[in-house]
């Protein structure tokens, strides 16, 4: 999934890089982060280097891995669902360094992106994507 990793890293660099706190980059520097989408099945990975997200082919054991369905990731981003609730319902899985996972989750939740969230909410309603 090299193309998907490139697309994700490009989007993260364009939209999140300047908004995330330095602590996130310091903690993840030189480390692989993997996003496993269960439905539809897709795996993307990136490396954090010098406050940038660099696409890479997924390796065996990333430093940090998030796993959920595409609909659940979108619902979290749209603030339609709470990440903690999905975690305890086992719909969101965090593997690897869980302290870093919590840091990333809290940083993303603190971001204000009302237009992006509104678009995601609308997309979720239009698609009627199953959970």
Cα–Cα distance, 42 to 113 (Å, whole number): 25
Residue 77 — very low, low, confident or very high, per pLDDT cuts 50/70/90? Answer: confident
In angstroms, the CA 45 to CA 35 distance is: 6
User: Which residues lie below 8 Å from residue 14, measured CB to CB, with a gap of 6+?
Assistant: none
In a domain, 105, yes or no: yes
**Scanning the structure block, which residue is given the tokens 């979720």?**
124
* Average pLDDT value for residue range 63-75: 90
Instruction: List the CATH number of the domain containing 22.
Output: 3.30.1050.10
The per-residue pLDDT for 126 is: 66
Q: Do the domain assignments include residue 43?
A: yes
d(CA 73, CA 46): 17
Domain count, the chain: 1
pLDDT at 128 over 90: no
If you average pLDDT over residues 106-124, what whole number do you get?
70
Domain that holds residue 21: 2-126
Residue 131 belongs to some domain of the structure: no
The tens digit of pLDDT for each residue in 14-51 reads 888 888 999 999 999 999 999 999 988 889 999 999 99
């Amino acid at each position: 999934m090299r193309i998907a990793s490139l697309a994700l890293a490009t989007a993260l660099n364009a939209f999140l890089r300047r908004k995330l706190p330095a602590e996130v980059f310091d903690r993840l520097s030189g480390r692989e982060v993997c996003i496993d989408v269960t439905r539809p099945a897709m795996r993307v990975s990136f490396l954090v280097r010098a406050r940038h997200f660099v696409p890479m082919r997924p390796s065996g054991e990333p430093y940090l891995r998030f796993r959920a369905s595409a609909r659940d990731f979108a619902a979290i981003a749209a603030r339609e669902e709470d990440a903690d609730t999905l975690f305890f319902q086992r719909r969101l899985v965090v593997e690897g360094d869980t302290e870093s996972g919590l840091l990333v989750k809290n940083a993303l939740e603190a971001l204000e992106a009302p237009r992006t969230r509104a678009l995601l909410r609308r997309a979720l309603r239009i698609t009627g994507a199953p959970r």
